């Protein structure tokens, strides 16, 4: 069982995850590109390091929680990266959402350098990270997954070993496909209802209770109706994940017409300067096309 | 309170609804284009009539449960239709899914002929009809809705007065938009997962538990993975409803790119002879485009 756990990347997700590891009793060392982000964790007992190399050298298991595939490659194999601090028995667990092919490549290169890896992306967002209720989708070898389980249990609730290296990332991308199409369903249903002059709060409630129901209808639609477009999960990051899904689909000649369409609609949001709004602002693209806004009114039919 | 209730149309939905009305203690008269369909209800105490006119003449409230807008116009205003048997105080409640504009037109014409109407389409399918657990979305006047409530309570659980004539139909169409896009989300997520070589049962479970979850992921995906494409709700009927939604959207210049795309994919299913399969066979269109089948295997990763 790993006793010393490192965290590389202390953003919206990595920061509360590091805090949960401290609470669970692990010896935690951390680093971040902007090192000031790490300071509050020092007070909680974390060791603040200057580089991923330094974190890796004093950890049994090191988590990376960064943004892009190239970020993962940089913190793992770049100058002063995890590989430079690797030692026999080090397990590097990347919990960012990146390309399944890059995850496989990282595993192969790590094996050459004498350490092991898992890909273990998460869903559940900032709130899931704070409350240690993440869903964790894992790709890699059985023994490594078993070794990492005490760490995963400190971070999440639904923890599933999906298959070999890359399978965690592939599962995360499949999840994002479902998320954005459910989100599109919310968007088009509410815009249609608004154009038909319906009471939108009632419409949402009726749809949510039946065969049109979804996590998105339960969670995004009330925010939309109240005009709250703060993230949650940002359009720019959702778009990054859709790009990964469409790249992986392209590589296997998998045709995903709805995902491709939704990706294009998110692009229009980014073009209009909305990349840092919440995922549910997808409806703004449909509203713009349709010349109608879907917001709740006080009056009802 | 209506004591005598008529049912015109004894198909998959109308038949069990008539039975539930009998169970609830109403005096029920029924008719159907194919009159033999009505015979089992006679044994339960229903009066079997030759025409909608005859049903209307002996009912306080008459339900129509047929297929298309023109079916509703025919049973209401055609030869020996409901209007021909109308009397002061008759309330004609159309529970079919039809055009909101036709529902408004039916209300206007009925008023000219001296009887009143509601549009009250349902969701919940055959099982909801059998178990008296339908969701009922109502358009019309307050007093008429109140009068019909004892009848609705014998048929459904979630009963919502959405607004004036046509608002029930518009809500149903908004619901169908959400249903088909959630269904597309299931289809593309599972096809992607299959192409990536993932264990599909595990993938489904992980997605269903989080932000990608939906009624469709909970109910359609297991049938897909087991290869069961029986209806449930048929592609031909879903396609009819999408046509109504897109017609209503066209009339208000509402742009629904995802709904339009999904309509086109259902068309391909119909073209291939799959119109009488279940709604969740939408995935077959994505499978065909992608050259991969999403079925559960015994082996797991």
B256·A171 Cβ contact <8 A: no
CA distance to partner chain B, nearest, from residue A187 (Å): 9
A192·B177 Cβ contact <8 A: yes
Give me the residues paired with residue A27 across strands.
Answer: A4
B301·A162 Cβ contact <8 A: yes
Cβ–Cβ contact A34 with B under 8 A: no
The percentage of chain B sitting over the pLDDT mark of 90, rounded to a whole number, equals 96
Please identify every residue of B annotated as catalytic.
172
Our answer to whether residue A172 is catalytic in this structure is yes
Q: What is the CATH number of domain A5-164?
A: 3.40.50.720
Say how far apart CA B243 and CA B250 lie, in whole Å: 10
**Per-residue pLDDT averaged across A85-100, rounded?**
97
Alpha helices in chain A (DSSP H): 14-23, 39-43, 52-57, 69-77, 100-113, 125-130, 142-153, 167-195, 200-208, 215-226, 235-251, 257-271, 282-290
CATH 3.40.50.720, chain A: domain bounds: 5-164
- What does the block give as tokens for A171? 């599962």
User: Class assignment of domain B170-290?
Assistant: mainly alpha
CA distance to partner chain B, nearest, from residue A49 (Å): 34
Between β-strands A116-119 and A91-94, what pairing exists: parallel, antiparallel or unpaired?
parallel
CA distance to partner chain A, nearest, from residue B55 (Å): 31
Its sign, for the CA torsion B155, B156, B160, B166, is: negative
Closest CA to A176 of A109, A256, A103: A256
Between β-strands B91-94 and B116-119, what pairing exists: parallel, antiparallel or unpaired?
parallel
Q: Does residue B47 sit in helix, strand or coil?
A: strand
Residue of B212, B269, B285, B287 to mutate, testing the A interface (most A Cβ within 10 Å of its Cβ):
B212
- A256-266: per-residue pLDDT in tens? 999 999 999 99
Say how far apart CA B49 and CA B282 lie, in whole Å: 39
With bands split at pLDDT 50, 70 and 90, how would you rate the model's confidence at A298?
A: low
pTM for this predicted structure: 0.96
ipTM field:
0.96
Say how far apart CA B223 and CA B266 lie, in whole Å: 18
The predicted pLDDT at position B298 comes to 59
- A163-203: per-residue pLDDT in tens? 999 999 999 999 999 999 999 999 999 999 999 999 999 99
B212·A182 Cβ contact <8 A: yes
CATH 1.10.1040.10, chain A: domain bounds: 170-290
Closest CA to A154 of A130, A188, A121, A172: A130
**Which chain B residues are closer than 8 Å to A193 by Cβ?**
170-171, 174
Q: Which residues of chain B have pLDDT under 50?
A: 300-301
Cβ–Cβ contact B193 with A under 8 A: yes
A171·B206 Cβ contact <8 A: yes
The predicted pLDDT at position B245 comes to 98
């Amino acid at each position: 069982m790993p006793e010393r756990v490192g965290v590389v990347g202390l953003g919206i997700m990595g920061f509360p995850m590091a805090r949960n590891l401290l609470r669970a009793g692990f010896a935690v060392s951390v680093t971040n590109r902007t090192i000031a982000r790490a300071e509050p964790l020092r007070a909680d007992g974390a060791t603040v390091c200057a580089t991923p190399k330094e974190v890796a050298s004093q950890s049994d298991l090191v988590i990376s929680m960064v943004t892009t595939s190239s970020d993962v490659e940089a913190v793992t194999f770049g100058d002063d990266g995890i590989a430079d601090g690797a030692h026999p028995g080090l397990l590097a667990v990347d919990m960012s959402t990146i390309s399944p092919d890059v995850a496989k490549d990282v595993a192969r290169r790590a094996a050459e350098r004498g350490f092991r890896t898992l890909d273990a992306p998460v869903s559940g967002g900032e709130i899931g990270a704070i409350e240690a209720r993440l869903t964790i989708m894992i790709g890699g070898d059985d023994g490594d997954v078993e070794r990492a389980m005490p760490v995963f249990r400190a971070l999440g609730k639904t923890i599933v070993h999906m298959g070999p290296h890359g399978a965690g990332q592939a599962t995360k991308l499949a999840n994002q496909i479902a998320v954005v199409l459910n989100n599109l369903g919310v968007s088009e249903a509410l815009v249609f209802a608004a154009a038909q002059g319906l009471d939108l709060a009632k419409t949402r409630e009726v749809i949510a209770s039946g065969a049109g129901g979804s996590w998105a209808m339960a969670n995004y639609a009330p925010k939309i109706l109240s005009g709250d477009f703060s993230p949650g999960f940002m359009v720019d990051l959702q778009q990054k994940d859709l790009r990964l899904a469409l790249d992986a689909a392209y590589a296997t000649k998998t045709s995903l017409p709805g995902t491709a369409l939704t990706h294009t609609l998110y692009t229009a949001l980014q073009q209009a300067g909305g990349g840092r709004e919440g995922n549910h602002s997808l409806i703004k693209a449909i509203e713009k096309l349709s010349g109608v806004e879907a917001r709740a009114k006080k009056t009802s039919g």
